[in-house]
């Protein structure tokens, strides 16, 4: 039987690193092979026909040849480019953040069809939100209040919760992360090092306060598909509380901050 020397795969481009004068190493996320690296030769030359099809966060169909150290992308055809997302700096930075999370959490060459679908679903929702934001911005009268990024902030929290669940770190939002008792409709506590929410009794020792409204929103995001999440209009303090809780969990599992956090904080405006 003739040995297979190439294969076709769908991929989302997570990262690009320049190599030499004209090549790039691509970090690909595929539904069947997981995350891995491949080289795109000559991609930085002006005459390259593949360059526009392997941009960051683009979903593309690739033909890849087996290589000794790195596989080689020989053909590329773009399938989804998320154009509205690319037109807004805030939303594009959110997309980079999703890619950074995937890159940090997932091991090489480990298939994660569920996480691939989650990323694709979230990029599509982010693209729709970018379009909606531009339309609302165009229609807003001068001086009127506009809640800038509330929906997108909830989308990021949704992605974080479901990503953690998919890799075995599902946050504890229904039962106390320490004693296992069912959480009641009161102010509870939150402890990233224990994996989630603590009941008032356990909160005295390990946690900082978590409001009842924050717990309700976290539970809603955890149990819902994004398309079923209602358009909530929350106070800025509540968005911040949700972000603090989820970033605490991510920081604990990764043992580091993410590069995107500071840039997102600088760009975000909550009205």
In degrees and rounded to multiples of 5, residue 112 shows phi and psi of -140, 75
Give the integer Cα–Cα distance in Å for 141 and 143. Answer: 6
Q: At what angle do helices 150-166 and 89-105 cross, to 10 degrees?
A: 10
Q: Which residues contact 188 (CB under 8 A, 6 or more apart)?
A: 176, 197, 198, 199, 200, 203, 207, 209, 210, 212, 215
Look up tokens 């004068």; give the residue: 21
Q: What is the dihedral of CA 85, 89, 90, 92, to 10 degrees?
A: 40
Each residue's pLDDT tens digit, 151-184: 999 999 999 999 999 999 999 999 999 999 999 9
Burial class (CB in 10 A: 0-12, 13-18, 19+), 116: buried
pLDDT under 70: residue ranges of the chain? 1-3, 140-148, 269-271
Burial class (CB in 10 A: 0-12, 13-18, 19+), 102: buried
Question: How distant is the alpha carbon of residue 4 from its chain centre?
Answer: 34
In the chain, pLDDT over 90 holds for what percent of residues?
Answer: 78
Q: Map out the domains of the chain with their CATH numbers.
A: 6-80 (2.40.50.140), 83-267 (1.20.1440.120)
pLDDT at 269: 53
């Amino acid at each position: 039987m003739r040995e297979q020397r190439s294969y076709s795969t769908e991929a989302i481009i997570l990262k690009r690193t320049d190599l030499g004068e004209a090549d790039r190493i691509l970090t690909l996320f595929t539904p069947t092979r997981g995350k891995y690296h491949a080289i795109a030769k000559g991609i930085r030359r002006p005459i390259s026909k593949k360059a526009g099809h392997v941009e960051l966060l683009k979903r593309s169909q690739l033909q890849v040849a087996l290589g000794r150290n790195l596989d080689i992308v020989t053909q590329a055809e773009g399938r989804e480019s998320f154009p509205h997302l690319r037109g807004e700096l805030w939303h594009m930075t959110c997309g980079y953040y999703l890619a950074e999370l995937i890159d940090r959490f997932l091991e090489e060459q480990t298939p994660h069809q569920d996480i691939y679908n989650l990323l694709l679903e979230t990029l599509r929702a982010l693209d729709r939100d970018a379009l909606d934001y531009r339309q609302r911005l165009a229609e807003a009268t001068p001086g009127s209040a506009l809640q800038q990024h509330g929906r997108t902030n909830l989308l990021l929290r949704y992605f974080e919760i479901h990503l953690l669940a998919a890799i075995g770190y599902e946050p504890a939002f229904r039962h106390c992360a320490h004693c296992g008792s069912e959480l009641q409709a009161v102010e509870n506590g939150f402890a990233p090092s224990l994996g989630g929410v603590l009941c008032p009794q356990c909160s005295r020792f390990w946690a900082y306060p978590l409001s009842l409204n924050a717990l309700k929103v976290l539970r809603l995001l955890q149990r819902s598909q994004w398309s079923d999440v209602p358009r909530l209009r929350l106070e800025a303090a509540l968005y911040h509380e949700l972000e603090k809780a989820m970033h605490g969990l991510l920081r604990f599992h990764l043992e580091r901050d993410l590069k995107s956090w500071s840039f997102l904080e600088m760009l975000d405006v909550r009205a």
